[in-house]
Each structure stands twice: as structure tokens, then as C-alpha cells.
């Protein structure tokens, strides 16, 4: 049995993909009314419209009913992961805990695996990350992800892979965490570029300079550059900077157009930009794209000023 905590789009999509492949999956949703609706309709139209839940997937309102299996997937937003672990002691250490979120915790400045290890020091901790949209996974479209783990990685890779969901393994947890976190920040900036009408050439330049920022910080924190060049870094960056399926990209587009954005939609890159800047400043690392995103998102700078600052940076060797 595989437990999935979090019935948002990504958690539901993983449950669907695994259930379709014949795994028994127990999916937890925090809202009891949502649980009842999903049990009745066998769908999660709130988060993933039009996708039927396979018979192998059951829906639960109690976390204790999802634990004790072969793995527990933590598919909640990054900024909710710490409180989930603190509030639910029934999330034990017997099974591997696999983070399925991207970002840096604002309070501790830790990534998801480090947060799990802090709260559950005896558990096997891993992260599942990479270029993917929930709708694609749920529809059975070919998707490749990175599974970062230092213990039981091969067993988890076999357990969580399906005919359409291929997992590639690494032991560079820091690199996988940072690639997934930082690309969300750059995706917001890419959305700003397109939303404000600066064009695709400007987006390509922005992505390239943003990737350089990702490499600088990741190297300072001990990540391997080849990890950032893989699925969890460059692959995820390309996807989220070029598709309106990305919440972070859509949020950036709205900023660029001067429009509002649905406050109920989770945009991980906003908090990540703030946390990453604190990490970078403590190490003397220059991250102008990240700083621009944080300033725009917090309303400390106008769009025209942000673009002007980036375009007026000193000319230098690439």
C-alpha cells in the first residue's frame, strides 16, 4: 500500500497513476466534505477535473488510515509541510516519507527532505521532483521525474514508477531540492516577461540568466552541477517557464499585465524567492532575478522599475 497525503492536483494525479498501475493507494484529503464528494463521484473535480479515480484508490479523512504502507507521499504545499509533520504524530517513521513539493521553508530555510529529517529523524526521507504537470500524469502522458534519496532509493524507484511515469534516481538531495525550488522563482520572472510584452527573446535571456543564479546558489550549498542540468533542474525550468499550465508562470503573467491573481491558487515561487534571498545574502551570492521577483511580488517595486534595473546591470563577460 502507498499512502498519499494531499488531495490537490499533484497528489491526486500521483494516486491515479499509481492506482492505474495496480498499486493500492490510500489518498488523504484534509476536508471531510471533499472526501465524501470524492467517494461518491470517484473524481476530484475541485483539483483535477474530469479524471476518474481507479478502483485501487481509496479516499480517507484520517491520516492514520494511510500510514504504515510501503511509502507515504507528502503532496502538500512546501509552506504547509512543517505544520503537517508537527500536527500529525501518526505520520510515523516506519515507512519512507517522500516529499512531493518544491520550495524552501520560510521559517527554517530548509528544503523538504531536511524538514522531514528534522521532524522525523528516524525515517527514510526522499523527494520526488522534476518536470511534470498533474494533468499530464493523470492522463497517462509520458512523464519523467527525479527521485532523490540516499537510502532505499532503488526500492522506491521500482515502487513508484509506472509504464508512463519514469523515475530516475539520484543521491544528490540538495541539488534535486534546489532545482525544483528555484525554477519556480524563475518561472514567475518568465511570466512577467511575457505578460508585459517583452517577447520570447527576452524570455530566453531571462531563463538563461536565471539558470546561472540557480547554479550559483546550488553550488554554494553543496549540490552537484550535473543534477541542476538534469530533470529536476533544467528540465523543470524549461517546462515551467514556457507553459501556462504552470501556476508560477501564470502568476508572473498576471504581474506583467498588471492584473490580479486568484489568491486561492498556491504559487510556491513567491515564498521561495523570499527564503532564497535570505540564503543567498548570508553567503554573498548575487541573485538579481530572484530579487526582482521578490520585490514585485511584495509590491516594493513597480514593473517598469524592475525591468529597468535588470536591463541596466553592468555589461560583463558571460
Q: What is the DSSP letter of 63?
A: G
* Residue 270 phi, psi dihedral angles, 5° rounding: -65, -55
Closest CA to 247 of 153, 135, 122: 135
User: For the chain, what percentages of helix, strand and coil (3-state, to nearest 5) are there?
Assistant: 50, 15, 35
CA-CA distance, 172 to 43, in Å (whole number)? 36
Which residue is listed with cell 499585465? 257
Closest CA to 235 of 112, 144, 167: 144
User: Can you point out the beta strands (E) in the chain?
Assistant: 2-5, 25-28, 43-44, 48-52, 57-60, 71-74, 97-99, 125-129, 143-149, 165-170
What radius of gyration do the chain's Cα atoms show?
Answer: 19
CA-CA distance, 41 to 157, in Å (whole number)? 31
Contact indicator for 187, 240 with CB cutoff of 8 Å: yes
Positive or negative, the CA dihedral 8, 105, 186, 126 is negative
Q: What is the DSSP letter of 166?
A: E
Which residues are tagged catalytic? 183
* Residue 246, phi-psi category: left (phi > 0), alpha (psi -120 to 50), beta (remainder): beta
CA dist 164 → 1, 14, 20, 167, 249 (Å): 20, 11, 10, 10, 25
Strand partners, 237: none
Contact indicator for 78, 112 with CB cutoff of 8 Å: yes
Amino acid at each position: 500500500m502507498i499512502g498519499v497525503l494531499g488531495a490537490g492536483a499533484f497528489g491526486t494525479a500521483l494516486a491515479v497513476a499509481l492506482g492505474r498501475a495496480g498499486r493500492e493507494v490510500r489518498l488523504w484529503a484534509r476536508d471531510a466534505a471533499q472526501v465524501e464528494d470524492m467517494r461518491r463521484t470517484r473524481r476530484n473535480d475541485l483539483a483535477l477535473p474530469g479524471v476518474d479515480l481507479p478502483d485501487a484508490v481509496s479516499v480517507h479523512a484520517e491520516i492514520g488510515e494511510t500510514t504504515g504502507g510501503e511509502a507515504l507521499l507528502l503532496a502538500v504545499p512546501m509552506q504547509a509541510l512543517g505544520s503537517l509533520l508537527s500536527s500529525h504524530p501518526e505520520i510515523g517513521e516506519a515507512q519512507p516519507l517522500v516529499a512531493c513539493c518544491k520550495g524552501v521553508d520560510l521559517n527554517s530555510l530548509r528544503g523538504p527532505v531536511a524538514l522531514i529529517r528534522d521532524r522525523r529523524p528516524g525515517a527514510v526521507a526522499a523527494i520526488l521532483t522534476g518536470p511534470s504537470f498533474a494533468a499530464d500524469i493523470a492522463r497517462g502522458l509520458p512523464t519523467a521525474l527525479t527521485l532523490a534519496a540516499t537510502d532505499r532509493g532503488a526500492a522506491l524507484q521500482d515502487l513508484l514508477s509506472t509504464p508512463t511515469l519514469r523515475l530516475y534516481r539520484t543521491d544528490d538531495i540538495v541539488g534535486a531540492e534546489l532545482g525544483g525550488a528555484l525554477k519556480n522563482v524563475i518561472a514567475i520572472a518568465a511570466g512577467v516577461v511575457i505578460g508585459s510584452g517583452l517577447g520570447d527573446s527576452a524570455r530566453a535571456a531571462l531563463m538563461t540568466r536565471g539558470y546561472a543564479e540557480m547554479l550559483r546558489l546550488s553550488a554554494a550549498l553543496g549540490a552537484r552541477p550535473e543534477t541542476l542540468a538534469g530533470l529536476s533542474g533544467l528540465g523543470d525550468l524549461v517546462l515551467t517557464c514556457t507553459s501556462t499550465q504552470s501556476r508560477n508562470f501564470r502568476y508572473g503573467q498576471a504581474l506583467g499585465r498588471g492584473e490580479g491573481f486568484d489568491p486561492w491558487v498556491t504559487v510556491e515561487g513567491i515564498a521561495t524567492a523570499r527564503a532564497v534571498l535570505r540564503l543567498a545574502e548570508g553567503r554573498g551570492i548575487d541573485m538579481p532575478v530572484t530579487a526582482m521577483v521578490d520585490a514585485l511580488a511584495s509590491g516594493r517595486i513597480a514593473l517598469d522599475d524592475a525591468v529597468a534595473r535588470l536591463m541596466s546591470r553592468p555589461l560583463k563577460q558571460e
